[in-house]
Amino acid sequence: MSLAGGLPATELYPVTDVQEAAHAAIARHGPAIMEYGPVEGLLALRQLIAARTSAETGGVFMAANVLLTTGSMQALDLIGKVLIDPGELIVAQSPTYLGALDAWRPRSPSYLPLDWDLTDPDFDAALARAKFVYSVPNYSNPTGVLVSQARRIALLDKVVEAGTWLVEDDPYLSMQLDGSPGPSILSHAVARSTGKGPYDGPVLYLGTVSKSLVPGLRVGWVIAEAGMIQNLARTKMASDLSGSLLTQAIALELMERDFDHQHTNVTVPVYRERRDALLREANLLLSEWFEWDVPVGGMFVWMRSKGRAIDTDALYKFAVEEKVAYVPSSVFDFTGEDRFAMRVNFTRSSPEVIAEGVRRLARAIEHYLSARRQHDRARSL
């Protein structure tokens, strides 16, 4: 039984709609859609994303501001290849999405945790040296945190002052369980710009259909100033020649009729119920040892051990014995210090399975604590 995954619920995938969109895409484009495509991706989808972004932010976005990628994971990889020279500094929200750490590991970057207070003068100096700031402001992975508007604006101010880049990774935008998260950092960057031309700000915004439609399409995108898009596209060419025009065309069919937005009417109530089931059972059985904030969106509850009393790496062995999985905090932590929290997913399983998973976790904790007591007693003899 896994509470570890980071995936939407398979049973909510809009199979028939994707099937119809595939038929429509092939009928519309013919065999041309089965060719290698332009490295930047299907022009009509880039234009649609640019138009949506212009409407949402009030800025001017053109196809030249959009690169389609194989999921936002490829965008993270390309950003690493274009921006990071070996050993350079990244300022990142901490704990950090594991996929980003994996993507950038070959460049051996150093990391500084993003301090949201933003008052430390040493932080300003570090920011001036950093290649970019990495943030997941909407329902972050792994913590589920929603970054406040005030902090978004303050961070952008600092980034502009330091003359660096800001990577805003936003895969969970469609998973709003309790209301809207408010404007993206990209929108704030648009509001600050004085020119009337196409977007040329410091934010690289990453979007994806993985949570709003299905992850298997592998359609993501980067929105950035046109020169950065060209650099990323050149690097993508060396990586995979082009993404899949066919799945981009399927995404286009669905997004043209706004299906990705409408589909949240199906997904969000189910995810809300599952989150609440997890929190109800966890309040009953885990709150003696763990504490958490209620996530207002996304897929995860970040459970922190009270008083750092439970090492979640060590607990994992006992969880496996009870046949339940979670993700220990150590894998998201570039500081090497956090072994006292765990990421628990609520989107992948029914409320009943989630409740059973929590009962198993509670038993695992009991066994872990009793084994530790025995060990301590044996040592003191």
The nearest distance, CB 96 to ligand PLP, in angstroms, is 9
Contacts of 281-284 spanning 24+ positions with Cβ under 8 A: 281/354, 281/355, 281/358, 281/359, 282/344, 282/358
- Alpha-carbon distance of 290 to 305, in angstroms, equals 4
Name the minimum Å distance from CB 157 to ligand PLP.
Answer: 24
Nearest alpha carbon to residue 7 among 137, 251, 168, 175: 175
Binds ligand PLP by CB under 6 A, chosen from 210, 345, 347, 349: 210
Residue placing its CB nearer to ligand PLP in the complex, 59 or 171: 171
Q: Does 6 bind ligand PLP (CB under 6 A)?
A: yes
Q: Which two tokens stand for residue 340?
A: 């006292």
If binding is defined by CB under 6 A, does position 215 make contact with ligand PLP? Answer: yes
Nearer to ligand PLP, 169 or 333 (CB): 169
Using CB under 6 A as the binding rule, whether residue 71 contacts ligand PLP is answered as yes
Which residue, among 55, 90, 22, has the nearest Cα to 248 in the 3D structure? 22
Nearest to 93 by CA among 155, 5, 154, 150: 155
Q: Which is nearer to ligand PLP, 17 or 169 (CB)?
A: 169
Residue 122 to residues 119, 125, 155, 339, 376, Cα–Cα distance (Å): 9, 5, 15, 26, 42
Q: Which stretch binds ligand PLP (CB under 6 A): 10-18, 69-77, 84-92, 152-160?
A: 69-77
User: Does position 41 bind ligand PLP by CB under 6 A?
Assistant: no
Stretch that binds ligand PLP, among 71-79, 257-265, 277-285, 315-323 (CB under 6 A): 71-79
Q: Is residue 141 near ligand PLP by the rule CB under 6 A?
A: yes
Query: Measured from the CB atom, is 135 or 355 closer to ligand PLP?
Result: 135
Q: Which of 72, 187, 242, 267 binds ligand PLP (CB under 6 A)?
A: 72
Site string for ligand PLP, 220-259 (x = CB under 6 A): x---------------------------------------
Smallest gap from residue 362 Cβ to ligand PLP (A) = 27
**Which residue lies nearest ligand PLP, judged by its C-beta?**
71
Residue 210 CB, nearest approach to ligand PLP (Å): 3
Contact flag: residue 73 with ligand PLP (CB under 6 A): yes
Q: Which of 99, 182, 183, 351 binds ligand PLP (CB under 6 A)?
A: 99
Decide: residue 137, CB within 10 A, 0-12 exposed, 13-18 middle, 19+ buried: buried
Among positions 150-209, residues that touch ligand PLP (CB under 6 A) are 169, 171, 208
Cα–Cα distance measured from residue 23 to residue 146, given in angstroms and rounded to the nearest whole number: 38
Residues that bind ligand PLP (CB under 6 A): 6, 71-73, 97, 99, 136, 141, 169, 171, 208, 210, 215, 220
